Amino acid sequence: MRSFTTFHLQYAHRFFRFEGEAQYLHGHTGTLTIEVEESINPGVNMVFPCNEIRKTAWNILQNFDHALILREDDPLLEPILKVYEAQGIRNGSPRNTMKGPAFKTELATAYPECRVVVTKESMTVEGMIKIVHALLKDKLNIVKLTFTSGDNAASAEFPPTASYCRCPRCGVALDEKGYCPKCGYHSGEHCR
């Protein structure tokens, strides 16, 4: 069965070298739906508690929220960082607290201290799906991602990967040694 959860991301971007309105800086509320496939965990009768998918994914995804997302060759990047620097917010600010961990993949690099994500390709809805899948595929058994932004929408399906052992009491994924990170339950066998 599938369990899914939806996130809203507020971001600014543009499509550098694209012939159209989208070459100008603009903003969106993007909606991302993550569908995770697992067996029903017999203890709790759930695939996964949705707040668990949310916690795992949001930790990374908050890097895209209230963020500026620009392609690595976009000449806007440097002047914007200069302004942030001059204003003293380039390396963080006491009010910039909803930060995810910095990440770097082949497709995107996050700079959470200044809420910038630099991408290899333009951040279209299709591009976002590729970026999110690369970031989360080893953390969740993702079978479908859907991303909508303005009038644009895209989705992609992925074959299920290895199943995760979950705690029969709280439903969260057990660690490699079979321990529940939440309640300390131990399955007596190695998981994954």
Element (H, E) at 86: helix 77-87
Shortest gap between Cβ of 151 and Zn ion (angstroms)?
Answer: 10
Burial of 176: CB neighbours in 10 Å, binned 0-12, 13-18, 19+: exposed
Strand partners, 138: none
Nearest approach in angstroms of CB 97 to Zn ion is 26
Instruction: Answer for the pair 52, 5: CB distance below 8 angstroms, yes or no.
Output: no
Binding residues vs Zn ion (CB under 5 A): 167, 169-170, 180, 182-183, 185
Nearer to Zn ion, 84 or 147 (CB): 147
Answer yes or no: are the C-beta atoms of 101 and 60 closer than 8 Å. Answer: yes
The angle that helices 50-61 and 125-136 make with each other, rounded to 10 degrees, is 110
User: Judged by CB, which is closer to Zn ion: 90, or 169?
Assistant: 169
Cα distance between residue 56 and residue 61, in whole Å: 9
| CB 106, min distance to Zn ion, A | 22
Nearer to Zn ion among residue 82 and residue 192 (C-beta): 192
CB of 95 to Zn ion, least distance (A): 26
Q: Supply the minimum distance, in Å, between the C-beta of residue 82 and Zn ion.
A: 24
Distances (CA, A) of 68 to 16, 32, 133, 167, 181: 13, 17, 20, 38, 34
Name residue 26's amino acid: H
Q: Which is nearer to Zn ion, 110 or 128 (CB)?
A: 128
Q: Which is nearer to Zn ion, 116 or 180 (CB)?
A: 180
